[in-house]
Structure 1
């Protein structure tokens, strides 16, 4: 959480409120296929219409892809599949606390 707060305070990432009910922290990165919008964190309700809107905005702003980080990928993958958003599993992150 501190890393996300630092990125927002330094302007590396942006905290965005969507209709007072959904919140995201996003940043832009360069990927192999071009500019990638990274959804670092998201919380709130009615996520599907907001994610659909985010996808449309990202495409209109020239992003080639969107990557999102989630601790619960299965619900996101099911929602994406039903809504035709196209999200697929892209990476697995492993961590150990020392």
Structure 2
């Protein structure tokens, strides 16, 4: 049986609405409780990739951490429309270092 995973994005309305134009489901949230619930609901409903704005990732680190060691869903941090907090790039550096043994970036 082939499982078709969905892609979605969670964050403030201004940051996520553009994703709708390319066919990605958007979940605008207004606080960290809504963000946490949205990510958990998406994880339980066949979302293979969840884009989450860095702004909300910083507010719900426990939820992000819970999915770090899971294959599905992949929680990918993206900058909000207000700019980057560099959390996403730090995660990439940490994952490369874990995989290779040294930070080659």
TM-score by length of 2: 0.34
Which structure shows the higher strand fraction?
1
Structure with larger RCO (C-alpha < 8 A, sep 6+): 2
